[in-house]
Amino acid sequence: MTLKRETRVMLFRKKEYTVHYHFYLCDESGDQFTSSELDEMNLVQVYNQYRDEHNLPFPEEIREIRQIYGLSAAKMAEVLGLGANTYRNYEQGEVPSESNARLIQLAQNPEEFKHIINLSGVLQGKPQKKLLEKIEHLIDRKKNAAQFNLEEYLLGSKLPDEYTGYTKPSLAKLNEMVIFFAGQLRPWKTSLNKLLFYADFLNFKMTGFSISGTRYCAIQMGPVPDN
């Protein structure tokens, strides 16, 4: 069977989205087939467009919000008043409802999450005290943070969108890509910029997400990171 791609329209939550639909075509019978991987690839394209359109958090963001506070997915769901496995499902790619998405985004702010902790009453005693101390530390660090942010300067907004390959921009990942190509190929900077671009876009083509979340622009010598 031959792997084919064609433009199709898929329906999600009563709205149509255009995707590059992946499927296998049997050369003998003309029948079309998909695997679990291709089904996921096709759905990811729809989910990404929907998240971007409605400003919903992506799985990586949802996972990072929880990890900041050192909570398990089950405990985070309990604190936010969600179903037992709901938060874990969101981390694994399920698209949250808009109301749940806003609640998760609210929890990203340590000051707001502190209010949620106190209102929920889920944590008591030593666990609550330990978490509140961590939150206070995050609040203080946020207040004392330097105004200049190198990561935002180089990569722009941290929010994933269609220009970042639906991945949260990460200076650490971009740095690792540079180190890898420099160590393996020792390229000139023009070639290095192209290698970064093609690596991110190949990963996007295969999975629906880029590696580093870097935004690129076109100049005379080829694609380069935007800033």
Of the listed ranges 10-19, 30-39, 117-126, 195-204, the one predicted with least confidence: 117-126
Domain total of the chain: 3
Of 108, 124, 144, which residue constitutes the final position of a domain? 144
Query: What percent of the chain is helix, strand and coil (3-state, nearest 5)?
Result: 55, 15, 30
Give the side-chain half-sphere CA count within 13 A for 168: 13
> Phi-psi bin for 82: left (phi > 0), alpha (psi -120 to 50), beta?
beta
Residue type, 44: V
Q: What is the pTM of this model?
A: 0.79
Owning domain of residue 26: 2-54
Distance CA 191, CA 207 (A): 24
Kindly state whether residues 134 and 161 are assigned to the same domain. Answer: no
Kindly state whether residues 127 and 72 are assigned to the same domain. Answer: yes
Confidence at residue 126, expressed as pLDDT on a 0 to 100 scale:
86
With cut-offs at 50, 70 and 90, classify the pLDDT of residue 121: confident
Yes or no: say if 110 and 132 are a contact pair by the CB < 8 Å rule. Answer: no
Kindly state whether residues 18 and 40 are assigned to the same domain. Answer: yes
Kindly state whether residues 75 and 115 are assigned to the same domain. Answer: yes
Closest among 168, 169, 171, 113 to 142, alpha carbons compared = 113
